[in-house]
Chain A
Amino acid sequence: MSATPAIVAVGLTRRFGKVTAVDHVDLSIPRAGIYGFLGPNGSGKSTTIRMLCGLLEPSSGTVEVLGHVMPRDAEQLRRRLGYMTQRFSLWDDLNARENLEFMARIFGLDSAQRRERIAELSDEYDLAGVMKQRAGTMSGGQRQRLALAAATLHRPELLLLDEPTSAVDPQSRRDFWESLFALVQRGTTILVSTHYMDEAERCHRLAILAEGRLVAEGTPRSLMCDIPATVVEIEAEDVSASRSALAGDARILSIAQLGTRLHALLDRDTPEPAAHVKTRLATAGVVAHVEHVPASLEDVFVAATGFRHSPLEPRPRA
């Protein structure tokens, strides 16, 4: 990773009327890596990305992308930037080739370059079979690969992906991430927003956003290690009984349900956290398997948002 960051934002803020969608976000995104924005819907991920590529003007704060001051120098950035919108935004009534042809022309590729790039990308993103198919009739995975191909036609240095995998099956998601790693290998900087924990875990660095504020930032590993809490996992027959048995304990900062298990975040200073939980449950007569586990990103998110929410639950609107 080179010394100067790809993106630097200071005090980035965007208000829509009385709602503050992005609230004083500071960012320093290194080059040639995958940087993730993790947060639930409405946390300000899309708004931030839109400000970074000049689609929206910040209400206050400054952004510099690849050395260009945004939104002032937005036009100079265009050729060096690839953007994949949250919604499929190529043309449904054009086929894959026509869509790619059009985007390539817009980015100023001459006809030889166009032929070459489209052939390359069709190969790389497995689009050969759908070249003559209209985008509107393609599957979610095919459309997403087409959108990625279109965004990388002009070999951008920076790729902004706004929830690229939201309409895609798990296998396509894995393939998609493989493609992203291949792009990073070639030196591309990628900024991706997601609300999937497994995707967030694959990023080189991560910013956790909640209610428009940046609440935690770092590599996934450091975020999980530095979580200001101890995680205890509870596996019990009666989940709700366990929940009520642990409610009101001063040492327990939050309890979140992950599938059939509960994750309790305890005060870091708790001696023997597993034993502490076990005793509480036993007193209430709840049979459970209790274990002290390493923190997951989900726990990090809960901790970062002040132990109030689980990222998988819909959030109350601010």
Chain B
Amino acid sequence: MMRNVLPRLIVLLAMLMPVLAHAENIVVVANPAAGVETLSRNDVINIFLGSFRQLPSGIAALPIDLPPGHPARAEFYRLLVGKNPAEINTYWARLIFSGKTRPPIQAQQVEDAVSMVQGSVGAITYLERSKVSGKLKIVFELAQ
């Protein structure tokens, strides 16, 4: 057991380093009209990774990704499913080439994402906590 514990500890520390650097939680926000108070992590994963895009309220969910390269985007997927952006890209690449499932809509800017959420009932995106403004409903929070 000790043999396994030590590498894991090191990995954990390494992962903590950037968190410590940014030290800001990522939250998932939805349109308040969507009728959703909160989402489970699975709900979030299903919606964002294309498995089940429906909000608990029955409204079709429309996930929106932050622009590629946005730190929050990488941080979100890292916190959500533990994968880096390249891995997420590979995932979607498979689906793009052969499947019907589409990746979330990609916002050009964070603001676009926010406005899309605000403007569409089923839309849903993620932000750094500090970036959350009104008219957005935090339905899930990814702690560092």
Specify whether A and B are partners.
Answer: no
Residue positions of B touching A, CB distance < 8 A: none
